[in-house]
A and B are shown apart, each in its own frame.
Chain A
Amino acid sequence: MAIREISYRDAINEALREEMERDPTVCIFGEDVGRYGGPFQVTRGLYERFGEWRVRDTPISEEGFTGMAVGAAMTGLRPVVEIMYNDFVTLAMDQIINQAAKARYMFGGKARVPMVIRTQGGAGRGNAAQHSQSLEMWFVHIPGLIVIQPSTPYDAKGLLKSAIRNDNPVIFIEHKLLYITTGPVPEEEYLIPIGVADIKRAGDDVTIVATSRMVHFALQAAGELEKEGIQAEVIDPRTLKPLDIETIVRSVKKTGRLVVVNEGHLTGGFTAEVAARVQREAFDWLDAPIMQVATEDVPIPYNRQLEWEAMPSAADIIQAVKSVVYR
């Protein structure tokens, strides 16, 4: 298999392009996604290739075009909506939560809403409180939605292709600071199944479950810990819902220790959800309390030092690991 190094951004672009070539019902809606090529240049070249009806530059009307995608999805299209920052999803929430997520069940299984909402989240760039949130758990809470957060170009491409082919509304959350990161991606077509975690690094002493950009922080922490003789296993669920709890539990049964890392806020967050599931399914295997590393329960501040303090860091992960391996 021919493998190249490409960016996260380009991997997403390839996924969109391939799916649009393959299926004429795949359409993109969003602000500046067409002529400009996307605010983060993710949709570059697609407008030129597929034209304005397949790649629609919309007015700044998030509720309107997200709802349009719901209607279009119910009637035969496979829309991919881009919400520029996940923070703006607030404006489209009714369409996602009350309409897209509910239609199938509420209508007795008759409706299908095959749409994807692509957006990006995360802090670390000084974008302050309204442009830096990690809102994945809002969607994880809602039955009927699938939630994906890729951490690498390879995962982003394979999972987005699966998301577009999936018949449910899928929330696909990218990370603003991952767009320029690169990684190996095969030339050949591949799909990654939704709901399957990936073990990013094997180890026997402690399990670290991390999502999105935090996977990279966890790997960095694992590298440091190795120097001190601690072997961490790093698991990226990739899909937050449905969650591949089996892979996580299997690892915890091996290591006996778990640290969960997520960029969302601590309270009511992903780390609490994983901790609850693991203690239920692997209580007898745990040798230490489950540690949670998450963003402080404060809005993301603008100032650089305050922002760094608010977010999880590799040092926070190392500290959490040491506290559960008792070193």
Chain B
Amino acid sequence: MTLDRAKLADMYYRMWLIRHFEARARWLFQQDLVRGSTHTYTGEEAVAVGACAALNRDDYITSTHRGHGHCLAKGGDPRRMMAELLGKATGYCKGKGGSMHIADLDLGILGANGIVGGGIAIATGAAYSAKVRGTRQVVVCFFGDGAANQGVLLEAGNMAALWKLPVIYLCEENQYAEFSPSRPFFAVERLEQRALGLGMEGIPVDGNDVLAVYETVRQAVERARAGQGPSFIVAKTYRWEGHTVGDPLTYRPAGEAEQWKTPERDPIARFGKYLVEQAGFSPAELEEMNQRAEAEIEAAVLFAMESPEPAIATLWEDVYA
């Protein structure tokens, strides 16, 4: 593994950025400042950060309704994200998209998606495009364990395997799909077995271990860039919070989430322990990064609050190119 100190610090910082972003998003939703619904990524930080750490700036990702973490991990600007959550003119989508539709095409973020499974074929198309254009770019397609049951995965995955497209299907097995556990909804024993039918190997990875995710995705990226085609990775993780902010969580066994918030399992605490014990970071350095991330999110909230509403005339803009 070839991660230098700066890279490790950046990954740790981004995990905190996501954790603090989601805490503020939750709060803003509760204040009725964020509308519609918002889905937090808390507890799953290692998946997005590990995967995006293996990508270049010009590589692509497709995201989901639970997309804040993917966006931040790929380098998204928390200020413009927060402004979008508040529907402001300075937001990524000029206030037209909201929490579920953040995109930053300049960073290769092809959009969060309100349609479960909506990014799967788009990721495949971006990979096709990269191949035709001969750019060596790769695509990471994030999707949920619930989304794995959408038919489009069979269609797109088959084409990717047929034509050796540089795409990595990265399933986030967070054990829930909306208001139900996800496990009772797939017949295979392990989700990665789905890959076999697509002509790919299914690779499980501990989704709460940021370095394991990084290494698994890095190898997949290497194969993709070498023209060896797609990969199918299943990151085993856990959704700490409700499906949306405000979800009463009546369907989740009491005490279950607490078992995932222990220092042994919390992806940030785990990575912190590694950094101190094996990478020469001091606890004070880690705490400083945590606080800096928190301050960056606070600044993002302020930026968003102080930003102007979009002008009414913008309603009719951007319908057509």
Q: Is the CB of B98 within 8 A of A126?
A: yes
Looking at A62, A125, A297, the one whose CB has the most chain B CB atoms below 10 A away is A62
Q: Any chain B CB within 8 A of the CB of A316?
A: no
Interface flag for A165 (CB, 8 Å): no
Instruction: Tell me the complex Cα distance, A306–B96, Å.
Output: 8
**A61 contacts B by Cβ under 8 Å:** yes
Q: Which residue of A lies closest to B115 (CB)?
A: A130
A35 touches B114 (CB 8 A): no
Chain B's interface size range is: 35 or more
- Is residue A64 contacting chain B, with contact meaning CB distance below 8 A? yes
- Produce 1/0 per residue, B103-126, CB < 8 A to A: 000000000011111100000000
Contact call A126/B36, Cβ cutoff below 8 A: yes
Q: How far is the CA of A36 from the CA of B179 in the complex (A)?
A: 7
Q: Does B56 contact A (CB under 8 A)?
A: no
Main secondary structure of the interface of B (DSSP, over half): loop
Decide: B312 and A88 in contact? CB cutoff 8 A.
Answer: no
User: Are A302 and B180 in contact, with the CB atoms below 8 A?
Assistant: no
Q: Is A128's CB under 8 angstroms from B179's CB? A: no
Q: Contact between A126 and B180 (Cβ–Cβ < 8 Å)?
A: no
A250 within 8 A of B: no
* Inter-chain contacts of A91 with B (CB < 8 A): 115, 150
Contacts of B177 in A (CB 8 A): 59-60
CB proximity of A67 to chain B, nearest CB, Å: 10
Report if B27 contacts A (CB, 8 A): no
Report the number of A-B residue pairs with Cβ-Cβ less than 8 Å.
Answer: 114
CB under 8 Å from chain B, chain A span 257-312: 296-299, 301-306, 309-310
> Any chain B CB within 8 A of the CB of A63?
yes
> Is B319 part of the contact surface with A, judged by Cβ < 8 Å?
yes
Nearest-CB distance from B269 to chain A (Å)?
32
Q: Is A31's beta carbon under 8 Å from chain B?
A: yes
**B10 CB within 8 Å of chain A:** no
CB distance A306 to B95 under 8 Å?
Answer: yes
> By the criterion CB–CB under 8 Å, are A306 and B315 in contact?
yes
For B37, give its contact among A62, A87, A127, A309 (CB under 8 Å). A127
> B149 in the interface, Cβ–Cβ < 8 Å?
yes
- Select which of B93, B118, B179 is within 8 A of A32 by beta carbon: B179
Is A39 an interface residue when CB atoms closer than 8 A count as contact?
A: yes
Q: Which of A196-246 contact B (CB under 8 A)?
A: none
| Chain A 44-59 per-residue mask, 1 if CB under 8 angstroms from chain B, else 0 | 0000000000000111
Tell me if B101 and A130 are in contact (CB < 8 A): yes
B87 on the interface (CB 8 Å rule)? yes
Q: Using Cβ atoms and an 8 Å threshold, which residues of chain A touch B314?
A: 306
The one of A88, A125, A131, A301 that contacts B96, using a Cβ cutoff of 8 Å: A301
Name which residue of chain B comes closest to A63, CB basis.
B151
Are B251 and A36 closer than 8 Å at their CB atoms?
Answer: yes
Given A32-B178, A128-B98, A129-B97, verify A302-B151 contact (CB < 8 Å). Answer: no
- Give, as a whole number of angstroms, the nearest-CB distance from A33 to chain B: 10
Which A residues are in CB contact (< 8 Å) with B180? 32, 35-36, 57
Bound complex: CA of A309 vs CA of B315, how far in Å? 8
Q: From residue 71 to 116 of chain B, which have CB atoms closer than 8 A to chain A? A: 84, 87-88, 93, 95-98, 100-101, 113-116
The 5 A-B residue pairs with the shortest CB-CB distance in the complex, in nearest-first order: A126-B35, A302-B98, A130-B114, A59-B149, A303-B87
Q: Beyond the given A59-B186, A129-B97, could you list 6 further A-B residue pairs with CB under 8 A, ordered by the A residue number?
A: A35-B180, A57-B184, A60-B185, A125-B35, A131-B36, A298-B315
Q: List 12 A-B contacts (CB under 8 A).
A: A59-B149, A60-B185, A61-B150, A63-B151, A127-B36, A129-B96, A129-B101, A131-B36, A297-B319, A302-B93, A302-B95, A302-B97
